[in-house]
Structure formats: C-alpha cells, structure tokens
Structure 1
C-alpha cells in the first residue's frame, strides 16, 4: 500500500549537531583549547571573530530601520508610538539605576579590592590612556548631539544605532501622517524586511566560526591564568550579575507570566554567541527576530530592542559601580557615603548611550572616574587584564535584560500574543498565522504564572 502523499508529513526533528547552539558551544570549547595550548595560534584567530562581528554589524542598520519604520507605520496613531517609548524609558531608567545600586551594595559587602594595598603612584596610566581619551569625548552634550546625523544617509553609512533609530522614528511617524498614500512604501519596506531577515539567517550560519575565532584570541592573548590574581573581583561580578538576572529579572518575568529560565533556554543559541564573541551586538538581529516569533508585536520590538542596546545596559551598570569601588578599595581610598552617592549619580549619566559593543563598559567606567576625582583613573590599569573576561558577563546580562524588557513592555502595551510566547518558551511549534491574543484577552481561568512554571 502506497503512503498518502497528499497528507502533510510530520516535520522530522533535526539532529542535535545541526542546531546553531550546539555548533557555537563546540566552537567555544575548541577555541578555548586552542588558545590555551597554542596561544600564538589562538591570537592569530582574531580575524575570524572580528570578521563575523563586521558581518553582523553590516546588517544591523537595515534591520533596525525597516523593523521600526514598518512597525510604527502599522500603529496608525502617534499616541501609540509615544506610549511604547514612554513605557520603555520608564523601564530602562528604573532597572538600569537598580543595577548600579546592586553593584554598589555588593562591592561594599564583599570588598573584593580590600588588602591589595596598591600605591596609585606606581600605576602606569599610559595603559588606559586610549580609554580615557575616548571617555573625555563622551560628554552628555556630545552624546545628545551625536544622536542627530549629519545627513539622513550618513546614519546608515556610520552604523550608529541611535542615529538610525532617530531617522527611522521620524520616517515612520511621517508615514503615519501621510496615511493611505503611504501604503505602497510600507508594502515595499515589509518585503525588503523579509529579505533582510533572510540575510540574517544566512549570516548566522557563520556564527560558530566567529565564536571560535573570538574565544581562541581571548584565551590565547590573556590566558585563563591571568584572572587568578583578580579572581575575587571577577567572581563577585559574575555572582552579582547572576543574582540580578535570576532574582530581580526572574521576579519581573514571574510577575509578567513567564519564566526567566525558559526565556534563556529559548535564546540559548544567541547567549552562546554573545559569550563567544563578547559582544551583545552580534546577536541583535536574531534577538529582534526571535522576540517577534515569541509573540511580541513588531512595532514594540523595533522600538524597545535597539533603544535598550543604548539605554538598558544592566550588566554594564553593575560592572561600573563594582569596578569603581574595587579600584578605591585596592588603592586604600575610603569613600564616604556621600562620595559613593556622587559616584552613583555620575554613573547614571555616563552609562546612558554606551553601545553594547566590546570595550564600551571600560570606556564608560573611565568617563565616570574622570568626573569623580576621589578614585584615580589610573587605577583602571589594575583591572585591564581581566576586563575582557568581565566583558562577556556584561554582554550576557545586557542581552538578557533587553529580552525581558521587550516582553514586559509588549505586555504593558497589550501587544503580546501569550499563546505564541508560551509555545516558543516551551519549545512548541509556532503558528505564525494565528491572530494575536494579548494578556488582556487571555482566556478566563488561565493562570499565566502557573502556565510557565518550571
């Protein structure tokens, strides 16, 4: 008897070795082994990591522009745009400030720099001169002026996320104001967006190569042994970031009807990619795509994710206050409560606008210490050797924080398909054609908190 070929056949599950997360994990392990046993060869792998990050950054600009423009145009009302932006910034301000406070508290509790007795006069300030020069350029006024591009096209040439965001919002708002006449342009942009995301899928196939090269370089150049002397600082930072994600962000997730652990499992390929490349930007296009697949409305994703990459940097904020107090403790500088509060306030300003790229946290720390004379900027030389290892944790925490923010703001806006969300986080197939069911319209008797319980 011949099988009935007219009936849809079940989709065969791909073998585990064909999944991106497995390939990236293997690449990270291979890169670590190469960098450890053959450090010079590991350092030579740097172009592989740099090349992959350049490929991703190449596609970020069109992804952000097309997603935001089509998303805003689909709102049909300027009030909707203002609502999303207002709620997103309220979320960012609260949790980024909370991250600074958490870093400050942990630094005072653990005191990782106490007992090092470093004489500030013996520190080589030239080692951090490059970072301090960039920090002096990062004034608040300069940051605000830098949001405005020289021309509408220069934003795309330079690849500045905030400039692209600015132009995209203006363009999307103009399409709303034009009305029905803008429909052909919106249709064109929607088709272009589908093509761009297909390019993202193609580029992601090179992720294992990029992760291998970046991790081999990190281990080969700095060596695992380099973190031993500053292990307490690195360990304190990782522990603080872990507690922030699991306890604080976990509570936020639970209050909004989903599990932080299931969210991280859903984003495991992206998290491994961020770990391997030490840059949250490498997974930005994929995060936007996955958030939309998980039921978040495109307009919310397009506004929250790119904005969060500059204004919602939980990992960077934890690092800044923790590292600043570590330097003070290591150089036997006893900061008063007033000085610590001043440090916190300065960090609140200097942390805004730091892009989620490798080294941004170190530059932002330099900007903060430049304004607070109590802690020597030259003290950053103490932690320069292990900053790369903390950069990975910063990027991971930033990435998770922005994923949580996207779902929460979508829920607040009533723009979250909870069936898609729970299907995605539960590993079930997603029906893209199903109409949106927001949290406000959830079936009676459904306990969303229990539905996502581990």
Structure 2
C-alpha cells in the first residue's frame, strides 16, 4: 500500500544560543572549568545536577505508564501486543549478547589490566562495601519478586520502573479486553499524556543548569587525575562502545533503512543531556516524543522505549565484561574460557532490570562478580574513582541502542512512516 507523502516545511531558524544542545554544551564546558579550577565549589554544586535528575525522575513513572498503556490499548487487540513485544525482546536479547561478546573479545585482545600486578589482599573492600551489599540482595528470586508491586498505584508513587512496566502492561491488556467501555478512559489517558509531556518540556529548560552542576561535581570530586590514572581502561571502554554504536548498531540501522550518524544528529540534544547528567533517564521522555515525531507508531514506541530502558542495556553489558576482566587481569587472575563464558552468562542475567541511572552499572557489576567468585569484588575499588566517567559512556550507548531498537522494531512491524523518518533525520519539520 502506498504511503501518502507528508507535507514538509523547513524548520524556522532560531538564534544559535536558543538551541538546547548549544546551551548544554556551554554548561558542560563551564562545569568542567569550575570543577577543575575550583574543585570545592564544583563539589558544592552537586545539588544542581541531583535536583535536575530528581525533577525528571519525578515524571518518568507517569511517562512510562501513560505511554505503555495508551500504546497497548491503542492496538485494540492482544495479538499485536504480543507480536511487538516478541520482536522487541528478540532484538534486546540479540544485541545485548553481541555487546557482551564484544566486550569479552576486546578485553582479551587489549588486556587493559595486564601489568598492574595488584595483590588482591591489599585491596580496600570497604570502599565498595555498599555496592557489594546491594549486589548480595540482587538474587534472581528477589529480582522477580521486586517486579510485583504492593498496590496498583504504588509503582507510580515509588518510581520502581519494572513495577511500572508490569502494572502498565496489565492495565493496557485489561483495557483491550474490556473493549468499548474503556474508550473514555483511553481518551483521559491520552489527554494526561499531553499534559505530562508539557511538564517535561518545562523541565527541559533547566537542563543546562543540571548539566553544569553534575559536570562541575564530577570533575571537582574525582579530578582529571582520576581519569588519567586509569586512562587505558577508560579509553578501551569508550572506543569499544564507539565501535559497537558505529559498526554493530550502524550496520543494523543500515539494514533497516536509516543512517546511524543521522540518527545521532537528530538526537544530539538528548545525547548531550545524557552526557551532562550521566543518566539516560533524564532524556527518556524526550526520546519517546522524538521517536513518535520520526514516524514510529505510538504503540511501538510505547512498548519498546520503556522496556528497553530495563532490558536493552548495550553500554552496561560492554562495561561489565570489560571491567570484570580488567579486575582479573590487574590482580593476575587467569580466567579460563569456561569461566569467561560463565561470566558472560551471569552478566546477561544480572543486567536485566538495571535502571539507566548513575551507579546502576556498578551495582550490576558487583552482582555479577558475587556469583563468579574467581574475581574479587574488592577489586572494584580499582575502578571506583573512574566509574562516574564510564557511567556517561554507558548511558550514551544505552540511549542510542534503544533509539535504534525502536525504529528497527517499528520497521519490522510495518509501523514506520518512512517519509516522517527521512524528514526528521534530515532536520526538516513534518506537518
């Protein structure tokens, strides 16, 4: 069936300084300057970054709930829900596995931890005790039980993402089963969605302030020296993530008919926001908006984006295998192929459900090492000082991976307007 060509008009020009991405770039650079020159002041600015992230997290649960419920209910039949979900999870599993394997291969080839000759007995495990304690609680049964909410309303109040997903799925499916009687409620939810996204737009005006505070704190607290002391690992992680995005995701994007570089340009404001705050959650509402604007059908966006934030963590997976093998190499611990494959399998399971917030990858790494005792959890102290820098790369990779997955599943499902996608990725406005 031929798709009608959308009317396209050029975007109205705006002064450069009014673009959000320009404001965020300036804020990040100022944050680096303040953190480096006046480190105590930089550390004191931490509440600016934390406050902005909390403001955005305040609306994350409603955004996910409303997007998922209206997306599922909008399909009108359960077969479509199951089909989109199956395709999404097939994508998540496949590319998460590729990310883990890539991290494993790079760690064995580059060996960033070789030659450090760290005696495990000299490591101060107290520095990572809190992470280890949280990891100990992260058993598989505890993970499953934590998905179940106390009440239908509690996930929205507490912001537990996996619980929000479960309640939203149940709500959306129930609305399909109820049928016409649920139509007025769907209208209410769609109106509420418009209001919530207007709130998001209001909060985004504060993004430069949040990015400034977060970056000033990071540089002031850890300093450039912390980054330089373990530059090999940081560089390896960033280059591996870049290769995954440009080569693995790039080839997948080309297969589904779009350019990864044009997609990155389309999402530049959101990516800079993620970079500034080290949190992919900060840009989640905007990603939902932009994917719909790029021609992906609302039901696909409503299903893929929220679930991807918990189950499609490509950057976190690369980080876990690289970091675990770095610790083993630094401590002179040889891992057999079988042990490395066990590590890969455990990492695949433990990464599911990790939120896209600062520190989640570190806790997930601790949970993985707790199940693979050959590598000491105390070795995480070696990378504690640079985890914040690596968190930014994790979040960026996760964010791009979810954007690619959303467009790909939309194309796979036949729910993608190619004219809108081409116009959006070309920087044009679609009426």
TM-score by length of 2: 0.97
When residues 308 and 209 of structure 1 are mapped into structure 2, their CA distance, relative to the original with a 3 A threshold, is same
> Structure 2 CA distance, aligned partners of 1:297 and 1:12?
26
Contact 2:35 2:41 in 1 (8 A): yes
**Residues 291 and 114 of structure 1, relative CA distance in 2, 3 Å threshold:** same
Residues 330-345 of structure 1 mapped to structure 2, 5 A cutoff: 330-345=330-345
Asked if 1 retains the 8 angstrom alpha-carbon contact of 2:106 and 2:240, the reply is yes
Paired position in structure 2 for 1:265: 265
Change (3 A) 1:10 1:132: closer
Counterpart for residue 49 of structure 1: 49
Deviation per CA, 1:43-97, whole angstroms, max 9, x where unpaired?
0110000000011011111111111111111111000000111111110011101
Alpha-carbon distance in structure 2 between the residues aligned to 1:130 and 1:367: 12
Match of 1:355 in 2: 355
Q: How many residues align?
A: 423
Equivalent-residue separation in structure 2 for 1:19 and 1:11 (angstroms): 13
**SS class of match (2:302):** helix
Deviation at 1:404, TM superposition (A): 0.4
Are residues 339 and 12 of structure 1, via their aligned partners in 2, closer, same or farther at CA, if it must alter by over 3 Å?
closer
Q: CA deviation at 1:11?
A: 6.8
Where does residue 383 of structure 1 map in the other structure? 383
- C-alpha distance after superposition, 1:118-156 (max 9, x if no partner): 000000000000000000111111111111101001111
Matches of 1:335 and 1:62, distance apart in 2:
44
What is the CA–CA distance in structure 2 between the aligned matches of 1:86 and 1:419, rounded to whole Å? 26
Structure 1: 4+ residue segments shifted above 6 A: none
Unaligned runs of 5+ in 2: 1-8
The structural deviation recorded for 1:10 is: 8.5
Matching residue of 1:80: 80
By how many angstroms is 1:12 displaced? 3.9
Aligned to 1:115, the other structure's residue is in SS state coil
Residue pair 2:280, 2:396 contacting (<8 A) in 1 also:
yes
Structure-2 residue corresponding to 1:418: 418
The 5-angstrom pairing of residues 65-214 of structure 1 reads: 65-214=65-214
Which ranges in structure 1 are unaligned for 5 or more consecutive residues? 1-8, 432-454
Give the Cα–Cα distance (whole angstroms) in 1 for the partners of residues 337 and 410 of structure 2: 38
Do the aligned residues in 1 keep the contact of 2:245 with 2:397 (CA within 8 Å)? yes
Distance of 1:155 and 1:353 partners within structure 2: 15
CA distance in structure 1 between the partners assigned to 2:268 and 2:133 by the alignment: 36
Contact 2:11 2:429 in 1 (8 A): no
- Give CA deviations for 1:92-121 in whole Å, capped at 9, x if unaligned: 011101101100000000000000000000
TM-score with structure 1 length normalisation? 0.92
Aligned to 1:296: 296
Shift of 1:182: 1.4
Moved more, 137-146 or 117-126: 137-146
CA distance in 1, matches of 2:70, 2:261: 31
CA contact (8 A) 2:315 2:393 kept: yes
C-alpha displacement of 1:177 = 1.0
Separation of aligned partners in 1, 2:11 and 2:214? 35
- Larger RCO of the pair (alpha carbons < 8 Å, separation 6+): 2
User: Which position in structure 2 is the counterpart of 1:58?
Assistant: 58
Does the 8 A contact of 2:11 with 2:428 survive in 1? no
